[in-house]
């Protein structure tokens, strides 16, 4: 009888270890890279400066003319207009390297 309970406990522990291992793997494969990408995007949006060329998530390309920190938005100048967009809508930024 004692051997039976030891076998059952061993199986339960093994199943628990597999369950924990599965969630650990899911964290490493799915959640961690997403957090890393979000951190990089936040850093990109914080580093936007006047004069930088930006591309929005909608594909609009323009140059930053002003930054409004109180509303968390920027104003970009395209070829013909000025457009106010939120910082979260910026997909990429090319730094203006004037010396």
Claim to verify: residue 41 and residue 53 sit in the same structural domain: no
* 57 found inside a domain: yes
**Cα–Cα dist 48/74, whole Å:** 9
* 64 found inside a domain: yes
* 99 found inside a domain: no
* 76 found inside a domain: yes
Claim to verify: residue 58 and residue 90 sit in the same structural domain: yes
Residues in the chain where the model's pLDDT stays below 70: 1-7, 97-99
Q: What is the pLDDT of residue 99?
A: 43
* 53 found inside a domain: yes
Q: What is the pLDDT of residue 2?
A: 53
The 10 Å Cβ neighbour count of residue 3 is 7
The domain of 13 spans: 1-46
Q: Which residues pair with 77 in a beta bridge?
A: 63, 82
Claim to verify: residue 36 and residue 54 sit in the same structural domain: no
Claim to verify: residue 36 and residue 76 sit in the same structural domain: no
- Domains: count for the chain: 2
């Amino acid at each position: 009888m004692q051997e039976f309970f030891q076998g059952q406990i061993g199986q339960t522990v093994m199943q628990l270890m597999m369950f924990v291992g599965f969630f650990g793997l899911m964290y490493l494969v799915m959640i961690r890279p997403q957090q890393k990408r979000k951190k990089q995007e936040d850093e990109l949006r914080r580093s936007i400066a006047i004069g930088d060329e930006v591309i929005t998530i909608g594909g609009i390309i323009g140059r930053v003319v002003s930054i409004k920190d109180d509303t968390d938005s920027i104003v970009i100048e395209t070829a013909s207009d000025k457009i106010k967009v939120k910082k979260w809508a910026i997909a990429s930024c090319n730094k203006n390297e004037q010396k």
